[in-house]
Every structure is written in structure tokens, then in C-alpha cells.
Amino acid sequence: MSVRFKRSYRDRKQAVAKRKKVIIRTLIIIFVFQILFTVFFTTIRIDTISMEPSLAEGSVMVYSPITYGYKVEPLNWTLPQINTPDRGDLIVFTPPYINEKKGIINYISPFIKFLTFGKIDISLIGSEQWDKQLLIKRIIAVPGDTIRIKNFIVAIKTEDSDFFLSEFEVIDANYDISVGDLPEGWNNSIPFSGNMNDYELEENQYFVLGDNRMQSSDSTSWDTLDRNMIRGKVLLTYWPLNKMKFY
């Protein structure tokens, strides 16, 4: 003969209260992680050679959206920025030829990218392989600068100067660039020859380039980058572990 015991009302009430606590704690943890990996730190993976030799293909970087002021899309708020974009900064941005996706996917994606070392990016669902929502490049010139390019090397005349200096003299950052040989018969009259006449950047305009100058889609292809397209500053490379580096 089996005996069945029924839980008392008090036991059932305690069990319900315990489940509620677990659910609330779980929601709080998810909320905290979401804020952490959306506003303060999130990740991006490089799938091209456009930033070599500085950043190798397959590297995963951590960048900070709040550095330049995080925009809270649903409320149309912008949090105060910590720094302004500067020459030499490695930045993450939405390229001007992309129609940026909005919605809940943008808030879930950073958390998933961090846990998968950038291998899974749900924000790319439904996009073509080349249709990257975010890119990484280096800021070479800022509003007020006048630039000219010769053989892929940028000369910069800052707003408070009367003379052009090499990018390596003006920019306070250590980096190397990769410049290959142009195909036979290529000359300065052909686009993407690595040469550009004087160009003055206006307010909110930034000139960005890949360190691999001949293998990069950047301002030489689609003009300057508007300030509101910049999404954050790269802080470190965290994968692969043997290439970890802070910027």
C-alpha cells in the first residue's frame, strides 16, 4: 500500500516564492550582462586582411561603444562621451553604404558574439557575405585637417598648421602599413592608385583607412565617414590569446 503525501499550503507557497526569486535573479543577471556587453564592451571579428599587419584576419577585438558616447536607440538618447575620435584610433563603424539594422537583435548580438569569440553574429542574418554591418579602420584625419595622398602615404596639414607632415609625424600611434605594387600599366589617372589631391575635412567628417592600403574598403573608396556612423573604439585584441594586445 503506497502513501501519498500532499504538500501543505505553506510548502507550496515557499516553493512558488523560491521560483520567483530564481527568475528575478536570472533576469537581473541577464540585464546586467546585456548592459555590460552592449554599452561598455562588445566584440567584433575581422574576416579580411584589410588591417594587416596590425590586425590579422580572424582576430577578435573588444571595443567600447560608450567611449565616443553610446546611443540608446529606443529612447533616442546619447550617453556622454569619454573621448572624441582622434587620429590613430582604431574604430568600429557602420559603413555609409549599409542600411543599419535596428531592433532587439542589436541588443542580443553583442552578448552572443562575446561568448562565441565573434564566430556567431546574429545581426548578419539575412545579409550577404560582403554586407558587413560593422567594419574596423584607423582614423587618419579629423575635422579641420587637410590631406593629400601619394603612393598610399597620407600627408596631413592640421587646422593650426601651415605645412603638410607625414601621417607618421602627426599621428600619436605606432602602426605599420602594407603597400604592395600596383599592377603593370596602372597610373595615377586610374582610381585607387594610392594618390589623392588636397582634400579638407569639414565638421563631423573623418578620413579612415585600412593599414593594408591596397586591400581595404575605406575612405579612398566611399569618401569620408560621418561622425554619427562611428560605433566605438577598439580597446584590445583578445583572440587568439597569444596575440592579445591592448590599444
pLDDT of residue 16: 74
Alpha-carbon distance of 61 to 189, in angstroms, equals 37
pLDDT of residue 23: 82
What is the overall mean pLDDT for the chain?
80
Is the pTM of the predicted complex or chain greater than 0.75? Answer: no
Bridge partners, residue 92, by sequence: 136, 232
What's 55's DSSP letter? S
Nearest residue to 167 (alpha-carbon basis) of 225, 211, 107, 230: 211
pLDDT of residue 41: 81
Residue extents of the structural domains in the chain: 41-180+189-246
Nearest residue to 44 (alpha-carbon basis) of 99, 96, 2, 90: 90
Tell me which residues of the chain have a pLDDT lower than 50. Answer: 1, 127-130
Helix residue spans in the chain (DSSP H): 9-35, 105-115, 167-170, 219-222
Per residue in 43-74, pLDDT (tens digit) is 888 888 999 998 989 899 889 888 898 776 65
Q: Residue 63: enclosing H or E segment and its boundaries?
A: strand 60-64
Q: Distance between alpha carbon 49 and the CA centroid of its chain, in Å?
A: 16
Q: Which residues contact 132 (CB under 8 A, 6 or more apart)?
A: 47, 95, 98, 124
With contact defined as beta carbons under 8 Å apart, do 177 and 226 qualify? Answer: no
Architecture of domain 41-180+189-246: Ribbon (2.10)
pLDDT of residue 247: 85
Alpha-carbon distance of 47 to 244, in angstroms, equals 17
pLDDT of residue 75: 56
